[in-house]
């Protein structure tokens, strides 16, 4: 077969193979089996490598579990690690490029040529070649560009700032996780205390409703009176059922924060006492200064300004002349060469003159970018100051609500005592006792809710100040160590002038549980 026909046939076969491959690039959705395998793998990842729950969980242990196993927080940790790795990659771009190459070259005929005279255009040499058809080649070349070095240097600075930004985002997520845990934990503890009582009272209320309907049928009490009792009992059932749902939601939320399986049993530490609510410092200016100093959002915006400025510095650096240096060693097995290996060096200076017209626009953009970043940070600072002031007011109001809830609980407890003392075997007195128990249990719920709202208000205020949840260095990362460090860190921060003292709640009633 002639060489030209062989070349045409090879080209046709190659084209047919490429077209066949392109025709097979059809959308391919995941199968049901692949989806099931993905679900199982994701569920294993959710709850993988967790320390088992072997004892009731305290608030600090709940915070430790949330910070260690919460998926959002773990994602931010991975983003911080990724930013650090990218910084290492960008720093290597400042080094010279060293390229090693080796290969084999060949052709189906000889490479060569002739020479003609310039004046008479006559051929002066017969056709000749100075290169073998097949030869080995190799080389080791190093090149270094001043412009590439400058750009890589600025990029490395950007990556370093992005590491700091990722760290600020990690701090923000950790602070938000602690706030969410504080909000959910005390609600879940109230649920643990009240749910058994709610269930028992709902059962008794259903029995009382049956008795009231029977008394209505038999005419043992006036119809208007018995209907009023039923209406009161139904209202209590409605309120208790709604409160029961709120309590169950709190437990589910706390499990999700700690990344516990939804069906796992959750038992919280309950020694009958409550931590004392902190007393705020009188000088709100100090709280505002702490917020402006510590809030991760402000620090992230500040670092973002440097990243944006660096982008413009890179654009300006690309306007100036580029100096590149080259040094290399080469080898060619061509037997016609006088020297089969040689070294070469070179220096090159280049500049795109048209880019110089961009300089005024870049200067203007640099000023506008800096002003925009400053204004964004100032606006964020104003919002943060508002959060601190609103958080302070909300916490003070929550403390007042605590006092009202304590007083309501005290009154309903006395009413329950009177109802029990005045009870007899009559249906009306029994219904009155049940109504008093329902009011008392609702007061207990309102008191637990008021305490959890006060803790949540304190958590929002604490979060608005932006203090770190964890110390910078931790010897071990097991749950007990983390819980101890969180407790020690929070107590130390509160003792650094942020708080005046820790005062007991006024008017707290440690009343017995309703039967």
3-state per-residue secondary structure call for 340-374: CEEEEEEEEEECCHHHHHHHHHHHHHHHHHHHHHH
The most confident of the ranges 20-24, 92-96, 163-167, 352-356 is 163-167
Residue 509 has pLDDT above 50, yes or no: no
Distance CA 251, CA 266 (A): 8
Helices (H) and strands (E) in the chain, counts: 11, 8
Mean pLDDT of 22-46: 73
- CB neighbours (10 Å) of residue 151? 19
Cβ atoms 101, 89 nearer than 8 A: no
Distance CA 216, CA 212 (A): 6
- For 325, phi then psi, to 5°, come to -115, 140
Residue 71 has pLDDT above 80, yes or no: no
Cβ burial, residue 247 (10 Å; 0-12/13-18/19+): buried
Cβ atoms 202, 240 nearer than 8 A: yes
Which residues have CB under 8 Å from 460's CB, separation 6+? 179, 387, 391, 394, 395
**Under the phi-then-psi rule, with left for phi > 0, alpha for psi from -120 to 50, and beta for the rest, what region is 468?**
beta
Structure tokens at 75: 């994602």
pLDDT at 504: 40
Q: What are the tens digits of pLDDT across the range 178-225?
A: 888 888 899 888 888 888 887 887 787 777 777 777 777 776 667 677
Please report where in the chains the tokens 């209406």 appear, as a residue.
231
Distance CA 415, CA 422 (A): 11
Cβ atoms 270, 192 nearer than 8 A: yes
Cβ atoms 161, 303 nearer than 8 A: yes
The most confident of the ranges 40-54, 174-188, 234-248 is 174-188
- For 459, phi then psi, to 5°, come to -65, -40
Structure tokens at 254: 């706390």
**Pairing, β 322-332 against β 134-145:** antiparallel
Distance CA 317, CA 17 (A): 47
Residue 513 has pLDDT above 50, yes or no: no
- Strand positions, DSSP E, 158-300: 278-280
What mean pLDDT, rounded, does the chain reach? 78
CA-closest candidate to residue 418, choices 445, 447, 444, 439: 439
Helix axes 59-69, 71-92, angle to 10 degrees: 40
Q: Which residues lie across from 327 on neighbouring strands?
A: 142, 345
* Rg of the chain on CA atoms, in Å: 39
Distance CA 168, CA 296 (A): 5
- For 267, phi then psi, to 5°, come to -125, 125
Which residues have CB under 8 Å from 54's CB, separation 6+? none
Cβ atoms 385, 464 nearer than 8 A: no
Cβ atoms 159, 83 nearer than 8 A: yes
pTM (global) more than 0.85:
no
Please report where in the chains the tokens 């990029």 appear, as a residue.
155
Cβ atoms 116, 122 nearer than 8 A: yes
Structure tokens at 121: 């255009």
Q: Collapsing DSSP states into helix, strand and coil, what is residue 105?
A: strand
Distance CA 308, CA 314 (A): 10
pLDDT at 471: 64
Distance CA 122, CA 501 (A): 107
Distance CA 371, CA 365 (A): 10
Cβ burial, residue 410 (10 Å; 0-12/13-18/19+): middle
Mean pLDDT of 397-402: 88
Cβ atoms 94, 149 nearer than 8 A: yes
Mean pLDDT of 401-406: 88
Domains and CATH numbers, the chain: 65-104+146-351+374-502 (1.20.1600.10)
Residue 443 has pLDDT above 80, yes or no: yes
Mean pLDDT of 484-500: 71
Q: What are the tens digits of pLDDT across the range 323-368?
A: 888 888 999 888 888 889 989 898 988 888 877 788 888 888 888 8
Please report where in the chains the tokens 């290996």 appear, as a residue.
341
């Amino acid at each position: 077969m002639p060489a030209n026909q062989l070349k045409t046939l090879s080209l046709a076969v190659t084209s047919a193979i490429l077209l066949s491959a392109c025709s097979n690039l059809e959308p391919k959705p995941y199968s049901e089996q692949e989806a099931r395998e993905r679900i199982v793998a994701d569920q294993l990842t959710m709850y993988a490598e967790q320390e088992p729950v072997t004892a009731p969980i305290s608030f600090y242990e709940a915070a430790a579990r949330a910070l260690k196993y919460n998926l959002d927080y773990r994602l931010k940790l991975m983003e911080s690690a990724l930013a650090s790795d990218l910084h290492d990659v960008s720093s290597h771009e400042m080094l010279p490029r060293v390229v090693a190459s080796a290969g084999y070259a060949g052709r189906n005929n000889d490479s060569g040529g002739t020479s003609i005279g310039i004046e008479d255009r006559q051929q002066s040499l017969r056709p000749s070649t100075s290169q073998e058809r097949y030869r080995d080649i190799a080389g080791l070349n190093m090149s270094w560009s001043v412009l590439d070095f400058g750009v890589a240097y600025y990029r490395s600075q950007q990556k370093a700032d992005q590491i700091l930004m990722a760290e600020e985002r990690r701090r923000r997520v950790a602070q938000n996780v602690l706030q969410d845990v504080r909000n959910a934990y005390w609600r879940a503890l109230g649920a643990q205390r009240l749910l058994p009582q709610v269930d028992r009272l709902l059962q008794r209320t259903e029995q009382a409703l049956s008795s009231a309907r029977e008394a209505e049928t038999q005419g043992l009490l006036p119809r208007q009176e018995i209907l009023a009792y039923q209406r009161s009992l139904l209202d209590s059932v409605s309120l208790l059922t709604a409160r029961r749902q709120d309590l169950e939601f709190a437990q589910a939320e706390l499990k999700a924060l700690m990344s516990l399986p939804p069906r796992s049993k959750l038992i919280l530490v309950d020694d009958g006492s409550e931590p004392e609510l902190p007393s705020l410092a009188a000088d709100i200016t100090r709280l505002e200064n702490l917020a402006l100093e510590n809030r991760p959002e402000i620090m992230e915006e500040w670092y973002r300004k440097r990243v944006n400025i660096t982008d413009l510095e890179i654009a300006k650096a690309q306007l100036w002349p580029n100096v590149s240096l080259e040094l290399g060693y080469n080898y060619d097995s061509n037997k016609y060469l006088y020297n089969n290996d040689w070294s070469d060096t070179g220096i090159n200076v280049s500049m795109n003159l048209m880019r110089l017209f961009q300089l005024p626009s870049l200067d203007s953009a640099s000023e506008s970018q800096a002003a925009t970043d400053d204004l964004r940070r100032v606006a964020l600072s104003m919002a943060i100051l508002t959060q601190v002031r609103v958080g302070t007011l909300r916490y003070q109001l929550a403390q007042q609500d605590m006092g009202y809830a304590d007083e309501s609980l005290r009154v309903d407890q006395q009413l329950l005592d009177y109802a029990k003392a005045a009870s007899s075997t009559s249906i009306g007195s029994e219904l009155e006792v049940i109504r008093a128990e329902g009011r008392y249990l609702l007061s207990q719920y309102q008191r637990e809710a008021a305490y959890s709202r006060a803790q949540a208000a304190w958590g929002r205020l604490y979060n608005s100040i932006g203090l770190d949840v964890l110390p910078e260095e931790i010897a071990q990362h097991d749950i007990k160590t983390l819980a101890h460090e969180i407790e020690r860190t929070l107590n130390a921060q509160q003792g650094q002038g942020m708080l005046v003292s820790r005062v007991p709640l006024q008017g707290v009633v440690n009343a017995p549980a309703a039967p």
